Amino acid sequence: MFSKVDVNGPGALPLFDYLKNQAPGIAGTTNIKWNFTKFLVGRDGLPIDRFFTNVNPLQLERDIVAALQVKTEPTTEIVEGEFI
C-alpha cells in the first residue's frame, strides 16, 4: 500500500494517469513534478481539484469540507479498460 510507484511515464499506475488527466496542472500539464502533489476526490469518485507541493494540507480544509457536503452517488467509470 505504501510502496514506491511510478506516477509519470509509461509505467505510471492507471489511477495516477486518470487523476492527472482529470485534474491537470498549470497550463494543462499532466505530469506530477514533485512529491506531495495532492488530489481531492469527491464522494462520487471523481477528481475535484489538484494541489501542488507547496500547498499545506491544512489549507485544504475548506475545500474538503465543501466536498463532503455535496451529496452525490458513487460513480463507476471504465478508463482504458480498467475499472475505476
Look at residue 1 and tell me if it is in a domain. Answer: no
For the stretch 25-41, pLDDT in tens is 888 889 998 788 999 99
Please compute the mean of the pLDDT values over residues 47-58 and round it to a whole number.
Answer: 93
Is pLDDT of 72 > 70?
Answer: yes
| Spatial distance between the Cα atoms of 63 and 15, rounded to a whole number of angstroms | 21
Look at residue 51 and tell me if it is in a domain. Answer: yes
Please tell me the total count of domains within the chain: 1
Please compute the mean of the pLDDT values over residues 56-62 and round it to a whole number.
Answer: 94
Please compute the mean of the pLDDT values over residues 3-8 and round it to a whole number.
Answer: 90
Q: Do residues 72 and 44 lie in contact, with contact meaning Cβ atoms separated by under 8 Å? A: yes
Look at residue 9 and tell me if it is in a domain. Answer: no
Query: In terms of pLDDT, which residue wins out, 84 or 75?
Result: 75
pLDDT at residue number 61: 96
CATH at 56: 3.40.30.10
pLDDT at residue number 20: 94
Look at residue 3 and tell me if it is in a domain. Answer: no
